[in-house]
Amino acid sequence: MPEPIIFYDIPGNAAKDQAWFSLNYKGLPYKTHWVEYPHIAGLCKDIGASPTRTFPNGSPQYTLPVIYDPNTKTVVSESALIARYLDKTYPDTPTLIPAATDALHAAFQEAIGTTITEPLMPIMLPAVNLQLNPVSEEYFRRTREARFGKLEEWSPPGPVREAHWKAIEAGLHKVTKWLSMDGNEKLFFMGETISYADITLGASLVALKRVLGPDSQEWKNVKTWDGGRWDRRMGIQLTYPFILWLSPALLTNSEVAHMYERIKICAANTHILFMHAQDIMIRGDVLDPRYTLLTGPSSVPIGIMSGPSISPSEQEYLAMSEAAVIRSATLDDLEQIIPFYLASLDTSLPGITFSDRPSHTEEKMRAKMPDRLFSSVRTVVLELPLTKEMVGYASVKSDGSVKENGAELDRFFVKAGMAGRGYGGLIMEYLQKEWRDSGLWLHVFKKNERAIRFYSRWGFEIFVEEELMVGDQKEIVCRMRWKST
């Protein structure tokens, strides 16, 4: 059994479900890591995910979904590329894009974009925005309206909206013709077999039903088109049992409803849906679910079953997706920061251990760290608010020795075992906003290739290389700097 794939998704966004369906269709284990819209770029840079398109000004645009496969140490962006990766890497699972149809699927993606996706956008996106969490809703509205105008004006009631619906109906009618070229109605594009083409179309229908509401008049109208074909299709979207590993994030009721609605719509008429729930904890209007959703005979009927507090293994899941927050460090944080500081020393130069030197005992660190962290230095920590666990920290000197190159980023460290979760990106995104005017610079050993790659993804460039004696060994130290563009 492979390790669970990390699936980065946006809570509340119904328009991003193709990769979700693909993972479920293949029956691959995965964990969902929720990412809000303002944090997507930071996460992608942090884990090395490629941008999927560019903004009008030529800058890279990062989008979700993204997966990280710990079995191959691979990061993949964009739903269709994820499907192709899963086919290649897990050939013993149901195929999404058969090799002989790869070019046809590429053509289909382009055709469905102009036929279905583009007509849907004016109606879908304003409705999707209303289902996002507040931090994402504000960001989504601000960034879209800056480019395309007020969301409420995209498809206002009246002739404009009626024209949009006619375009959608015409697009779905065209798809009906594609599926009936020989005079017989086919359920799937490949006849009796589900392919990625079906997932693409099905995801659009599921999303449309969800944002409109199943009882809305507009969705009822869709159900009558083409002799009721699209209502029938909703009953059979997935034909394989699936497992959804829902990370134990703090989810609002609406987010839990979003995940349930995804499954309920897909499973209707073909599966009995079950939920095995463990350790459900309710705090006001927030659910803290630690459960697995699945279909299959070994499950128990859907419901919520209360249980004991968080187990040690669940702490790992909790850390996986709980929304981390950045705050200024205080003296009370020293007990957690000191081990971080010593660990950061040992990762700064591969193959060299600094923390075992006499000058670096915890007692001596406790005496010198207050000045190191709080005298002419600003230190911030990244913390999981529920457990109060510190997962990263950074310190910036306000009187750096190379002032013309900005403030000196003296320390930057994310806790071991937390790689691939976007924590480094969250910290760096914060630092670059705080020191946007002055810029930042730092020292890094040239042998620390991983750190150099990370800083380079965040726009840092090497401007000086210096020699430094470490014991009797000569090492190269790089100075890197970042300036806001």
The whole-angstrom separation of Cα 82 and Cα 5 is 11
| pLDDT given for residue 27 in this prediction | 83
pTM attached to this predicted model: 0.60
Which residue, of 294, 321, 348, is where some domain finishes? 321
User: Do 219 and 260 sit in the same domain of this protein?
Assistant: no
The whole-angstrom separation of Cα 16 and Cα 480 is 37
Which residue, of 286, 321, 356, is where some domain finishes? 321
- The whole domain housing 309 covers 243-321
Identify which of 19, 17, 34 has the alpha carbon closest to the alpha carbon of residue 246.
34
User: Do 226 and 313 sit in the same domain of this protein?
Assistant: no
Q: How far is CA 236 from the centre of its chain?
A: 27
How many structural domains does the chain have? 3
DSSP string, 396-456: EETT-S-GGG-EEEEEEEE-TT-TTSSHHHHHHHHHHHHTTTT-EEEEEETT-HHHHHHHH
Cis peptide before 297 (omega within 30 of 0): no
| pLDDT given for residue 295 in this prediction | 28
User: Do 455 and 435 sit in the same domain of this protein?
Assistant: yes
| pLDDT given for residue 359 in this prediction | 67
Name the DSSP class of 51: P
| pLDDT given for residue 81 in this prediction | 96
User: Do 43 and 191 sit in the same domain of this protein?
Assistant: yes
Q: What is the pLDDT of residues 196-225, one digit of tens each?
A: 998 898 888 888 887 887 778 998 999 899
| pLDDT given for residue 16 in this prediction | 64
Domain harbouring 122, CATH code: 1.20.1050.10
Which residue, of 234, 263, 294, is where some domain finishes? 234
User: Do 76 and 120 sit in the same domain of this protein?
Assistant: yes
User: Do 255 and 227 sit in the same domain of this protein?
Assistant: no
| pLDDT given for residue 420 in this prediction | 60
User: Do 291 and 363 sit in the same domain of this protein?
Assistant: no
Which stretches of the chain drop beneath a pLDDT of 50? Answer: 236-322
| pLDDT given for residue 163 in this prediction | 94
User: Do 255 and 210 sit in the same domain of this protein?
Assistant: no
User: Do 282 and 181 sit in the same domain of this protein?
Assistant: no
User: Do 166 and 310 sit in the same domain of this protein?
Assistant: no
User: Do 247 and 335 sit in the same domain of this protein?
Assistant: no
User: Do 261 and 369 sit in the same domain of this protein?
Assistant: no
The whole-angstrom separation of Cα 459 and Cα 439 is 11
